[in-house]
A and B are shown apart, each in its own frame.
Chain A
Amino acid sequence: MEKKTKRRDFLFTATYAVGAVGAGAVIWPMIDQMNPDASVKALASTEVDVSAVNPGKTITVLWRGKPVFIRRRTSEEISEARSVKLEDLKHPEKDEDRAKNPEWLVMLGVCTHLGCVPLDQKGDYNGWFCPCHGSHYDTSGRIRKGPAPTNMEIPEYKFVDANTIKIG
């Protein structure tokens, strides 16, 4: 038998193609239903009153189900964070870029390794220490030692007035 494209081959190919599109159209809603829903997305921002936070204190607030550290840093901590050379850092970022207002460090309190909450005022760099797998962060929340690949994340935030921070 000689191989020749027939009407039937065209029909087969067309049927498979339409079938594949149909299957995709059914599967996608099944996959996408697992993504964050509208009610989860609605909780996008939080306002925090920080008037009671004295220098050397950290408060932890919940934003999108994750802890956010708001630390009012002491002048020693600021100078320590700002004097580090960028080449000593695993994930080089200037403290000036991480804390626009040097006194206030606002960051996600989530270790970038596997998501634990690091402990305050611990570790080899006077910043944070993650008890799960031993990552050390400095007073700017930058990774200095251990398995975490990047610095702790800085969320979008702004001072609404002198005493209120809006996260998100």
Chain B
Amino acid sequence: MSEHEYTPKSKVGKWFNDRLPLLTLANHLTDYPTPKNLNYWWTFGGILTFCLITQIVTGLVLAMHYIAHADMAFQSVEHIMRDVNYGWLIRYIHANGASMFFLAVYIHIFRSLFYGSYKSPREVIWIIGIIIYLLMMAAAFLGYVLPWGQMSFWGATVITNLFSAIPLVGEGIVTWLWGGYSVDNPTLTRFFTLHYLIPFLILGLVVLHIWALHVPGNNNPIGIDIKKPSKDTVPFHPYIVIKDGFALLMFMIVFAFFVFYTPNILGHADNYIEANPLVTPAHIVPEWYLLPFYAILRSVPDKLLGVIAMLSAILILAALPWLDTSKIRSAVFRPLYKQFYWILVADVLILGYVGAMPAEGLYLLIARIATAYYFLHFLVVLPILGFKERTTPVPLSITEPILGGSPNFATVKKKDSFKDQ
């Protein structure tokens, strides 16, 4: 991992490091050469780590007061809100923390899409990221069921029923997931167990995600390979630590705004009604961060195909490093890709909006067009664009465009000849 040997200065440090090289690891992490042009979109990795830790810590505390039983879960959540000291604060941080986590992860993913961070040699980082994202969705869904409100119950019913679309074994799988013939107490207790487990799986994958990142090093806004360490890099500490810290503070202001001023705006009022297996709420929608996929599910009139389309929409991301045929990473030098990128952003936002609306009339038509475009972007536009697009000249280093008159004559000449084309 590290490019240079490290020897602790103190005798004790050396003794320990020879037996367990933790200090070498710490040294690698502080000295880690980072591209010096990283912008604020690169601070969301650190923000996401903060979100994960926040969810784990608040979740542990909530689990001390929560009771995973169909007859008591709803009451115990109200008990947390009203009786437990600062219970309201801890629960609101946990509930809004899920939304903040997804907000950050979407920015993180779309940053990768813009700057081509998923391309060779970073495919494994990207795929681990997609697995983390899938686990996040699972954890969020399972957690949403635990308060045992109306939305919890019917959300659980609808999502588990997605598996019934599988031919032949579908019904058996759903019964197995439920541990009964409907969502009930056995379902709740197992969902609680899994909700507790998944964050630790995510934590393990985050370690792999960062490890895989530290092999090739960070991508950067101009998407070129850089020499490390060199004039193009700065050590992670203090430069990136301070920048990440500042961005984290800004993020925490937004987070705190939701927690203290509008703690319920991202939730649904129906979830303050205890679960009732006899009545489905008039309008059930998932949390905002799942809406685009929900829109895709509903835009297909066939049950099985709808489920397949929804899953494909997520899994297609894992194939992205091979679907995007362009060798240029950053959209900065891809004039056409840049436009398609923003169309995709708009498309996903539109899907999210129609996902929250009733599935009929004009909304349904828009959902269908947006769904078709989503797949078109990945399956047709990206593969073709790599061959057809005329990219603009890419600088040879980060400092080159700034230092204009590069002492390296060959570099300047090469750049000019690119322009002439």
Interface of chain A residues 117 through 137 with chain B (CB within 8 A): 117-118, 130-134
Partner of B177 from the list A34, A60, A64, A65 (CB cut-off 8 Å) is: A34
Q: Mark contacts of B161-199 with chain A using CB atoms, 8 A cut-off: 1 yes-contact digit, 0 otherwise.
A: 110100000000001111111111010001000000000
Q: Mark contacts of A59-81 with chain B using CB atoms, 8 A cut-off: 1 yes-contact digit, 0 otherwise.
A: 01010111100000000000000
Q: Mark contacts of B282-319 with chain A using CB atoms, 8 A cut-off: 1 yes-contact digit, 0 otherwise.
A: 11100000000000001001110010000000000000
Q: Inside 8 A of A34's CB, which chain B residues have their CB?
A: 176-177, 179, 186, 190
Q: Mark contacts of B244-275 with chain A using CB atoms, 8 A cut-off: 1 yes-contact digit, 0 otherwise.
A: 00000000000000000000000000000000
Q: Does B158 contact A (CB under 8 A)?
A: yes
In whole angstroms, how far apart are the Cα atoms of A116 and B155 in the complex? 9
Partner of B303 from the list A40, A62, A149 (CB cut-off 8 Å) is: A149
CB of A67 within 8 A of CB of B175, answer no
Q: Inside 8 A of A134's CB, which chain B residues have their CB?
A: 358-360
Q: Does A113 contact B (CB under 8 A)?
A: yes
Interface of chain A residues 92 through 134 with chain B (CB within 8 A): 113-118, 130-134
A66 closest partner in B (C-beta): B182
For chain B, the count of residues having a C-beta within 8 Å of the partner chain is: 35
In whole angstroms, how far apart are the Cα atoms of A116 and B160 in the complex? 12
CB of B303 within 8 A of CB of A37, answer no
In whole angstroms, how far apart are the Cα atoms of A168 and B279 in the complex? 22
Knowing A134-B358, A134-B359, A134-B360 are in contact, say whether A62-B175 is a contact too (CB < 8 A).
no
CB of B284 within 8 A of CB of A40, answer no
Knowing A37-B186, A60-B278, A65-B277 are in contact, say whether A116-B180 is a contact too (CB < 8 A).
no
Partner of A67 from the list B277, B284, B303, B360 (CB cut-off 8 Å) is: B277
Q: Does B120 contact A (CB under 8 A)?
A: no
Identify which of A37, A117, A130 gathers the most chain B CB atoms within 10 Å of its CB: A117
Identify which of A31, A115, A130 gathers the most chain B CB atoms within 10 Å of its CB: A115
CB of A64 within 8 A of CB of B158, answer no
Q: Inside 8 A of B279's CB, which chain A residues have their CB?
A: 117
Q: Does B406 contact A (CB under 8 A)?
A: no
Q: Does A5 contact B (CB under 8 A)?
A: no
Partner of A133 from the list B181, B277, B281, B298 (CB cut-off 8 Å) is: B298
Knowing A34-B176, A65-B277, A147-B302 are in contact, say whether A114-B162 is a contact too (CB < 8 A).
yes
CB of A132 within 8 A of CB of B280, answer yes
Partner of B179 from the list A35, A117, A130 (CB cut-off 8 Å) is: A35
Question: How many whole Å from A67's CB to the nearest CB in chain B?
Answer: 5
CB of B277 within 8 A of CB of A132, answer no
Q: Inside 8 A of A22's CB, which chain B residues have their CB?
A: none
Partner of B180 from the list A65, A113, A115 (CB cut-off 8 Å) is: A65
Partner of A132 from the list B158, B303, B306 (CB cut-off 8 Å) is: B158
CB of A115 within 8 A of CB of B157, answer yes
Q: Mark contacts of B138-155 with chain A using CB atoms, 8 A cut-off: 1 yes-contact digit, 0 otherwise.
A: 000000000000000010
Identify which of B157, B175, B280, B282 gathers the most chain A CB atoms within 10 Å of its CB: B280
Question: How many whole Å from B389's CB to the nearest CB in chain A?
Answer: 39
B358 closest partner in A (C-beta): A134
CB of A64 within 8 A of CB of B180, answer yes
Question: How many whole Å from A141's CB to the nearest CB in chain B?
Answer: 16
CB of B359 within 8 A of CB of A133, answer yes
Q: Inside 8 A of A149's CB, which chain B residues have their CB?
A: 302-303
In whole angstroms, how far apart are the Cα atoms of A149 and B158 in the complex? 15
In whole angstroms, how far apart are the Cα atoms of A66 and B175 in the complex? 13
Q: Inside 8 A of B158's CB, which chain A residues have their CB?
A: 114-116, 132
Q: Does A36 contact B (CB under 8 A)?
A: yes
In whole angstroms, how far apart are the Cα atoms of A133 and B160 in the complex? 15
A148 closest partner in B (C-beta): B303
Knowing A62-B277, A131-B280 are in contact, say whether A114-B175 is a contact too (CB < 8 A).
no
In whole angstroms, how far apart are the Cα atoms of A66 and B181 in the complex? 7
In whole angstroms, how far apart are the Cα atoms of A166 and B164 in the complex? 27
CB of B181 within 8 A of CB of A65, answer yes
In whole angstroms, how far apart are the Cα atoms of A36 and B183 in the complex? 11
CB of B301 within 8 A of CB of A147, answer yes
B300 closest partner in A (C-beta): A147
* Interface set of B (CB-CB < 8 Å, partner A): 154, 157-158, 160-162, 164, 175-184, 186, 190, 277-284, 298, 301-303, 306, 358-360
* Interface set of A (CB-CB < 8 Å, partner B): 31, 34-37, 40, 60, 62, 64-67, 113-118, 130-134, 147-149
Q: Can you report 24 A-B residue pairs in the complex whose CB atoms are below 8 A from each other?
A: A34-B176, A34-B177, A35-B175, A36-B179, A37-B186, A40-B180, A40-B186, A60-B278, A64-B180, A64-B181, A65-B180, A66-B277, A67-B277, A67-B278, A113-B161, A115-B160, A115-B164, A116-B158, A117-B277, A131-B281, A132-B284, A134-B359, A147-B298, A149-B302
